[in-house]
Amino acid sequence: MEKNVNYDPSFAQEVFENVDAGEEIKMCMNCGVCAGSCPLRFNMDYPPRQIFQMIRLGKREEVLNAKSIMLCTSCYTCKVRCPRSIPVIDVMHGLAHYAIKQGILTRRDTANFGREFWNQVYRLGRIDEKDLPRRVFFAAGFIEGIKSTLKYLDMGLKLLLHRRMKLLPERKIKGIQSLRKMLDKAEKMGKGGAAA
Amino acid sequence: MKYFLYWGCSLEGTGANFLVSLKPACEALAMEFEEIEDWNCCGASVSYAGANDLSIKVLNARNLALAEAKGSYDIVAPCSSCYIQMIKVNHEIQEDPELLKQVNECLAEGGLSYKGGIKVRHIQDVLYNDVGVDKIKEKVIKPLNGLKVAGYVGCQSVRPYGEYDSVDKPVVQDRLLEALGAEAVPFPKKIRCCGSGIFLPEIDYCLELVKDILEDAINHGAELVSTVCPMCAMNLEMYQGRVNEKYGTDFDIPIVYLTQLMAVAFGLDMKKDAALNYNIIPPEGILQAALGH
Amino acid sequence: MAEVETTNQSILVVGGGMSGITAALEAAEAGHNVVLVEKNPYLGGRVTQLYQYFPKLCPPNCGLEINFRRMKLNPKIRFFTMAEVTGISGQEGDYDVTVKLAPRYVNEKCTCCGKCAEVCESEIDNPFNFGMDKIKAAYLPHEFAFPMRYVLDPTISGTEEGKKCKEACEYDAVDLEMKETTFDLKVGAIVWAAGWDPYDASRVEYYGFGEYKNVITNVMMERLASPNGPTGGKILRPSDGKEPKNVAFIQCAGSRDENHLPYCSGICCLASMKHSTYLREQYPDCDVTIFFIDIRALDRLEDFYTKVQGDEKLSFIKSKIANISEDEETGDLLLEGENTNTGEQIRTSFDLVVLATGMVPNKIEIEPSPDVSYDEYGFFAYDPEKTGIYGAGCVRRPTDVASCVQDATGAALKAIQSIARR
Amino acid sequence: MDKKTAVYICTGCGIGDALDIDPIKELATDDLSVPLCKDHPFLCGEEGVDLIKKDIEEEGVNTIIICGCSQRVNYDVFDFGPDKIVERVNFREQVAWSQAPKEEDTQMLAEDNLRMGCSKANDTELPEPYKAEEEYSKDILVVGGGLAGMTAALETAKAGYQAILVEKEDRLGGFLGKMKQRVTMPYKELTDTNAEDLIKSVTENPKIEVHISSTVEKIAGGPGLFSVDIKSNGNAVSERVGAVVQATGWVPYDANKLGHLGYGKFKDVVTNVEMEEMAAGGKIARPSDGSDVKNVLFIQCAGSRDPDHLPYCSSVCCLVSMKQATYVKEQNPESVNYILYKDVRTVGQSEDFYRKAQNDGNIFIRGAATNVGEAGGRLFVEADDELLGEKVKIEDLDMVVLAVGMVPATRPDEIPRIQAPPDTEGADEEGKIEVAADSGFFANTALNLEYRQGPELPTLKYGFPDSHFICFPYETRRTGIYTAGCVRRPMETAKVIDDATGAAMKAIQCTEATAIGMAVHPRAGDLSFPEFNMQRCTQCKRCTEECPFGAINEDKDGNPLPNPTRCRRCGVCMGACPERIISFKNYSVGMIGRMIKAINVPEEDEEKPRVIVLVCENDAYPAVDMAGIKRLKWSPYVRFIPMRCLGGLNLVWIADALSGGIDGILLFGCRHGDDYQCHFVKGSELAEIRLSKVSETLDRLALESSRVQFVEIGITDYDKIPKIIDEFMETIEEVGPNPYKGW
């Protein structure tokens, strides 16, 4: 006989407390419009509303390891269509952030990309487009990094030729020190910050 | 008409042709810009993977605070990602006093504060609503003569609030294109996402999105695709080769910024002002043909 | 025409639909003087445009006919069509009301012989059929129209066409000189039964209503199925007149949606089920799919749900459809969404899509507005402190015909109480 | 009255083009001996009407026959006052607009229509309203003192009428009085029941007489004249009332039948009603040990929407469970509520309360409970979670609440059995049979009507004494008795209030109409009523049995005892009576019989068959009109005779018509069966039943049964009318002419 899955409200509570926009899932009425609106819906393992339902059920591991929460392209279609005004995108971002914080790297490239992206913001205050991919590629290891770099070399060169890649060295914004203080504070105050 | 201009990181790099063309094209319409001094990144793309929501809000609030300290002009954000990040944070702050307090607590660490008094606008919004189609038409000296352009709105430029255009069936870009003398071809995928910020890590999935969009535009007769977002421009233009490899297609359609077309139609310099030489898939031939040279 | 004597013992009913007719009749049959004002050229309201009622699948004209007969027999009711209330002042027991009469360009001499329509060549979009067909600019709104009298569209009143109609009339019933007029009433109580409008489906943009021809609304479906509708009762695709073979109903098209109407209109589930019976009766091979969030068939109407579930060509899928796109060549529609029972993604083509749109209440749009409370959606809110003006029917809550009648009967008593208090 | 008859023929609207008017005028004046006959090109115009008025004044005309448009139009134009008889002969829709112009057959049709009209006018008397000897009462009896009953009484009083409220419990309030709070407009938060205030305003209202701990022992008489015996704590009072509102409410579905959901097995499985009482009592605690409650699971549709229990939806349970979940949360903010549902049914603005319940953190699970059990002193529920496609288990539950549905108080636990007449088919050894739900002997005791057809209101499916009409929801099958609130259909409190107000309106209106001798719905305003020529009565009881409204009682000898104020004037009794002793002043067996006889039946060799169509005037007649307006064409050999209701069909007409040479008879009536549309409930069904007995007559005359047919016609079936008639004419042609022609 198929085994019953036990309801365990503690994960929902964990999400409400630690995940940005986590509490919004309470309003979901399972209409499914979010999944239907998503450009990458065919690549998801669980539709968003099912993720929400799984949170209610308490399926912690499945949710935090779900591919779906890492696939958001930030197009906002789900948010604008949700009849219950749930910012589905924000919930997915919050879950992605929370999962990565717990050390779950279901989509390693995205996690690396996100981390490097943010590191650069923190370091410089801005994004240096030539530097970011390099860091992302090499975050996966040296050999992988070389391979990826070669794969994208043609594109980089083209951009360079068409004056769309600056070769100037990295430049910090003037107020970088004060920005970092602000971000440090936000990191502490905000939700989703709790590491496992 | 004076605005703060917040062009963001991409427009200094991969989206340089947007910024280069934006300035002369808008100046021709008597728009005046003031850069937000020492602005920082908006935290778009997948920064959420690296930072919590409040951090990203604070990032944007800093830019808003910097602008507010300098004056009361609206902020124009040409990059759709910057726009959506900033307008969303601004809205949320304005609606939620508790959030404003939190954000200000963080800003205070760097000696800043934000009252919530600044408006964030998209470049399409100000062109359409502040300048107006009529005034743009007046400035056109080289009309695009019915050039079939697919106005690819992308997703973020009209969302999430639909402040100046529909979130599902937007028309503003088409009206602007028409003002330039182009024929805006209708194509349903005009607001379908191109993969935006996760393109790089999820390239396998996102190439299909690019393919679908380009296919739809071309099937509806487009000779050229216009956009108002550096992510869209980058993804649609740079990856055509990859799409062709993967799907056996033969896309080679120029992707230009709306402001580039404006510069051309206003009779400005094709290179210096319209920055057409920045484009990797050259649009000059098609544009020259349309202009009748 | 407008010589109507009323006193502060009279009751004004605004809206000549099922609710208004009911309120007027119930009060009049208890012995009270009633004036009924309707903005259309005929009474009956939206009910006249329905093909059948659920769950009995009976014709609404049956109930209307008997109500009209009650009205014909009752000297205590005066009614005005093409009339709108433009001013209300005073308080319970003592209202002064201004009524505006739009010109019909046809007077009471009309025998309904139809000669004017015969000679009239101009055509207008048929409002009765939501513009799905054309009618002559001199027209009888529909066969069961009560009062049974023609109307001339204002677009021809000052034209040669209008003159032709006038000349064709043997009974001197066409009056091109008719002007808009107003008259005043004194009444003691008012029942507001101005009904509802369908939510504008084009505002749910991702469904493409107005852009894709084969996306229609539930109210249009009623006309397509009606023998006096644009297709003579045969349900055909608007794009090419073909018989539909695979039809989708999208429930909550703009309802239960904070971006549109946050409330549930209560009737749309049953209406779509009813529509599926129209389709399945006409086309034994037609497949029908109803996409829903929750099926809401209250009380004994559940039986109707149970009954239609027995139809194997009808399926219910729990999903709010997220997108419709059109195949430009065939006019077929691709629906996308998630089947939330299976988690599978839907990408299915249909040849006709019906949007189950909800109801938007018609508030009192008069300046200065009388003192009436509304809820946040514009429905009349019950407020025991405010007596004298009472909502009836769908201006109070979105609901079905039987509940409207029930509610309007109660509203009639409320109005009588207002008078009794004086 | 001494009749002075005049015929007026309108030649407008194409009538003059279709018919030769002079021969028709000659027919009127010569053959039919009408003293005055005139034609006018525009009779409904000012000049035409003045012409008639002038004749009324100068010639003393008082019986006016108008040959022109349908009786459905220009009713106001041709109204010459209550002391004039007006008969409308259809020359337009059914002649000029549906027949070929200037044809002999068209002319003959018009002439027959005139013959019938003259015959009818000749037989018509002005009705005199019924006036009872006793004084009419306009007081309203309300049975049931819950929210519906109290509201009905209060609203009645506010309109200036006297109300008598009877409640069987020792206090007013019903379920409202047992509730902790209500969920109602605007559905944002819970609201207080205000039951005490309502009870106070009812008991203190000088126009309301309240009887608690009381039952209605007897209701006799009819509208305006009901005499009511009320028994209160052993005392009896008699009251005279004009109309009755039955608001006897509901009982919860018997949860003992829901053993599969743990009821009766586990103490902590309770019904929503028990939960409400517990909450109203102050504290929700586990019934098993009185300990605090943290986790609660609500099972929606417990026994509802279930063919084995209550197949219908009780419509309030979703909101009720959300309300009770709110109580639990208020008592313990840490608590977790689960709501296991099939569909969330929060219609209208009440969707807002669903949102509130979600926002409060209640967990909604779509699916069905498969098991309720206990482990370690706490309950668990297993269910199929439809939206996850998994079997789930919810443990550590302190309570499980079964959201049971509403059963109307009228519905008996078991189907009652009554003594049947000897040799009744299906009777048991004791000679008893099951009572049908639409019988007056079915429902639980509440009214104790002294009616020949039983003491209670007939009910519909599931035992609701509701109307079957969408357009007329208050009509029960007992005149002057209206139901309100959950006894007639499950409804939430907001709707109960509206419903009770409406029922009070109907009751008041009934007393007003009755007092001036007028009928109530559906022939509202009709002043005629049936009169019985008792000398010829054979005590066959058909009239007392068949009256759809139970209007006719019986004495011990089987003689009918009519109650005119209960009568709806449909004429079913008239049709039922084999002795033709029941007549209205303006509607009788003889009148229609003579109309049929007035039809000119040509000789067989003329090959002009004659068919009469008896048409229900509510739906079928307008449909025929519509067919004319649409200019549809049909055979000129048919003659339409409108009837109040086909239930008035008397078989003698069929016999007379056929023996008089009429070739065929069609009956156009309303749909009957489960979704009947007959305004008189049973009329069209009775007509068809009677028709099934006509074969005897046909056999006696050696005629084919296909000569008489019943057809269901809805009002919008006008497009089908030509085809129906054509097919019938083909049948008639096949069977050949009626051999009785010329006899």
Range of the domain at C162: 115-168
Query: Is residue D482 in some structural domain?
Result: yes
> Quick check: B188 and C206 CB within 8 A?
no
Chain B residues whose beta carbon lies within 8 Å of the beta carbon of residue A190: 52-55
Tell me the CATH number for domain B137-291. 3.40.50.11810
D397 lies in the same domain as D445: no
Q: Cα–Cα distance between D94 and D625 in angstroms, integer?
A: 7
pLDDT range class, residue D234, cuts 50, 70, 90: confident
pLDDT tens-digit readout, D112-152: 999 999 999 999 999 999 999 999 999 999 999 999 999 99
Task: Tell whether the model's pLDDT for residue B293 goes beyond 80.
Answer: no
C388 lies in the same domain as C415: yes
Which pLDDT belongs to residue A195? 43
Which pLDDT belongs to residue A196? 38
Residue C58, both tokens: 């009976």
pLDDT range class, residue D281, cuts 50, 70, 90: very high
CATH number of the domain that D645 lies in? Answer: 3.40.50
> Quick check: C211 and B169 CB within 8 A?
yes
Residue D119, both tokens: 């015959």
Residue in the structure block whose two tokens are 């717990």: A102
> Any bridge partners for residue C37, and if so which?
C14, C80
Query: Is residue C107 in some structural domain?
Result: no
Instruction: Tell me the average pLDDT across B31-45.
Output: 94
CA atoms within 13 A on the CB side of D576: 25
A81 lies in the same domain as A113: no
> Quick check: D387 and C341 CB within 8 A?
yes
Instruction: Tell me the average pLDDT across D321-325.
Output: 98
Whether B12 and chain A come into contact, CB under 8 Å, resolves to yes
Domain-terminating residue out of C341, C358, C375: C358
A85 lies in the same domain as A116: no
C340 lies in the same domain as C220: yes
Contact C360, C378 (CB under 8 A): yes
CATH number of the domain that C65 lies in? Answer: 3.50.50.60
Query: Is residue A194 in some structural domain?
Result: no
Residue A45, both tokens: 């393992």
Rg (CA), chain A: 19
Number of domains in chain A: 2
Query: Is residue C4 in some structural domain?
Result: no
Helix or strand run (H / E) with residue D354: helix D351-359
Query: Is residue C173 in some structural domain?
Result: no
Domain-terminating residue out of A82, A101, A120: A101
> Quick check: D351 and C256 CB within 8 A?
yes
Q: Is the peptide bond before D129 cis (omega within 30 degrees of 0)?
A: no
Query: Is residue A21 in some structural domain?
Result: yes
Chain D residues whose beta carbon lies within 8 Å of the beta carbon of residue A50: 387-388
Contact D184, D147 (CB under 8 A): no
A77 lies in the same domain as A52: yes
> What percent of chain D is modeled with pLDDT above 90?
92
Query: Is residue A120 in some structural domain?
Result: yes
C220 lies in the same domain as C351: yes
CATH number 1.20.1050.140 given to B2-122:
yes
Query: Is residue A4 in some structural domain?
Result: no
* Residue C137 CA: distances (Å) to CA of C114, C133, C151, C155, D67: 12, 12, 8, 8, 31
CA atoms within 13 A on the CB side of D458: 21
Mean pLDDT (10-residue bins), chain C, 422 residues? 76 98 98 97 97 95 93 94 97 96 95 93 96 96 93 94 95 95 96 98 96 97 95 96 98 97 97 98 97 96 97 97 96 97 95 98 95 96 92 97 97 97 77
> Quick check: B53 and A190 CB within 8 A?
yes
pLDDT tens-digit readout, D371-403: 999 999 999 999 999 999 999 999 999 999 999
Whether D359 and chain C come into contact, CB under 8 Å, resolves to no
Query: Is residue C395 in some structural domain?
Result: yes
A62 lies in the same domain as A21: yes
Domain-terminating residue out of A68, A101, A134: A101
A88 lies in the same domain as A113: no
pLDDT range class, residue B224, cuts 50, 70, 90: very high
Q: Cα–Cα distance between D585 and D127 in angstroms, integer?
A: 5
Instruction: Tell me the average pLDDT across D257-274.
Output: 97
Other beta carbons within 10 Å of D51: 17
A86 lies in the same domain as A151: no
pLDDT: which is higher, D59 or A163: D59
Which pLDDT belongs to residue C1? 44
Instruction: Tell me the average pLDDT across D296-320.
Output: 97
D265 lies in the same domain as D369: yes
* Residue A155 CA: distances (Å) to CA of A143, B68, D716: 20, 39, 71
* Alpha helix positions (H), chain B: 16-27, 47-50, 53-70, 80-95, 97-109, 123-125, 133-139, 172-179, 203-219, 230-238, 240-247, 258-265, 284-291
Instruction: Tell me the average pLDDT across B79-99.
Output: 95
Which pLDDT belongs to residue A1? 44
For C138-159, the DSSP string reads EE-S-TT-SS---EE-HHHHTS
Number of domains in chain D: 5
Average confidence score pLDDT of chain D = 95
Q: Coil, strand, or helix at residue C282? A: helix
Q: Establish whether chain D is in contact with chain B, requiring a minimum of 3 CB pairs below 8 angstroms.
A: no
Other beta carbons within 10 Å of D283: 11
Q: Shortest Cα distance from D489 to chain C (angstroms)?
A: 7
Nearest chain C residue to D630, by CA: C143
CA atoms within 13 A on the CB side of D169: 13
Range of the domain at D96: 1-126
Indicate whether this model's pTM tops 0.90.
yes
Domain-terminating residue out of D455, D484, D515: D515
Range of the domain at A81: 9-101
Which pLDDT belongs to residue C86? 97
ipTM: 0.95
- Backbone angle region of C369, left / alpha / beta, with phi > 0 → left and psi within -120 to 50 → alpha: beta
Query: Is residue C385 in some structural domain?
Result: yes
Q: Cα–Cα distance between D441 and D594 in angstroms, integer?
A: 40
Q: ∠A13-A16-A17 over CA atoms, to 5°? A: 90
Residue D563, both tokens: 């109650």
pLDDT tens-digit readout, A137-169: 777 777 777 877 778 888 888 888 888 887 777
Average confidence score pLDDT of chain A = 89
D651 lies in the same domain as D546: no
Query: Is residue D134 in some structural domain?
Result: no
Look at residues D470, D490, D491, D475 and name the one whose alpha carbon lies nearest to residue C401: D470
> Quick check: B166 and C205 CB within 8 A?
yes
Number of domains in chain C: 3
Query: Is residue A195 in some structural domain?
Result: no
Query: Is residue D369 in some structural domain?
Result: yes
Query: Is residue D520 in some structural domain?
Result: no
Q: Cα–Cα distance between D316 and D305 in angstroms, integer?
A: 13
For D208-235, the DSSP string reads EEEE-SEEEEEEES-TT-EEEEEEETTE
> Any bridge partners for residue D191, and if so which?
D182
Whether A85 and chain C come into contact, CB under 8 Å, resolves to yes
Residue C51, both tokens: 């093909």
D97 lies in the same domain as D52: yes
Chain D residues whose beta carbon lies within 8 Å of the beta carbon of residue C296: 343, 345, 347
Domain-terminating residue out of A77, A101, A125: A101
Task: Tell whether the model's pLDDT for residue D684 goes beyond 70.
Answer: yes
For C213-255, the DSSP string reads TTEEEHHHHHHHHSTTSTTTT----TTT-PPPSEEEEETTSSB
- Phi/psi of residue B178, each to 5°? -65, -35
Query: Is residue A3 in some structural domain?
Result: no
pLDDT tens-digit readout, B134-179: 999 999 999 999 999 999 999 999 999 999 999 999 999 999 999 9
pLDDT tens-digit readout, A57-82: 999 999 999 999 999 999 999 999 99
Nearest chain A residue to D356, by CA: A27
Query: Is residue C110 in some structural domain?
Result: no
Task: Tell whether the model's pLDDT for residue D556 goes beyond 80.
Answer: yes
Q: ∠C350-C353-C356 over CA atoms, to 5°? A: 145
**What residues have CB less than 8 Å from C73, skipping those under 6 apart?**
D75, D524, D525
Task: Tell whether the model's pLDDT for residue A2 goes beyond 70.
Answer: no
D345 lies in the same domain as D260: yes
D286 lies in the same domain as D197: no
Look at residues D454, D448, D463, D459 and name the one whose alpha carbon lies nearest to residue D408: D463
Chain A residues whose beta carbon lies within 8 Å of the beta carbon of residue C319: 31-32, 36
Task: Tell whether the model's pLDDT for residue D517 goes beyond 60.
Answer: yes
Look at residues D94, D106, D99 and name the one whose alpha carbon lies nearest to residue D633: D99
A93 lies in the same domain as A142: no
Domain-terminating residue out of D567, D584, D601: D584
C307 lies in the same domain as C208: yes
Residue C383, both tokens: 């407020």
What part of C 317-346 touches B (C-beta under 8 Å)?
Answer: 325-326
C253 lies in the same domain as C384: no
**What residues have CB less than 8 Å from B195, skipping those under 6 apart?**
A39, A73, B202, B205, B206, B209, B210, B235
Helix or strand run (H / E) with residue D419: strand D417-419
Contact D513, D275 (CB under 8 A): no
Query: Which amino acid is it at A28?
Result: C
What are the residue ranges spanned by the domains of chain B? 2-122, 137-291
Task: Tell whether the model's pLDDT for residue D35 goes beyond 60.
Answer: yes
Task: Tell whether the model's pLDDT for residue D332 goes beyond 60.
Answer: yes
Q: ∠B229-B230-B233 over CA atoms, to 5°? A: 90
A87 lies in the same domain as A136: no
Which pLDDT belongs to residue A193? 57
Residue D678, both tokens: 């007959």
Query: Is residue C392 in some structural domain?
Result: yes
Instruction: Tell me the average pLDDT across D209-233.
Output: 97
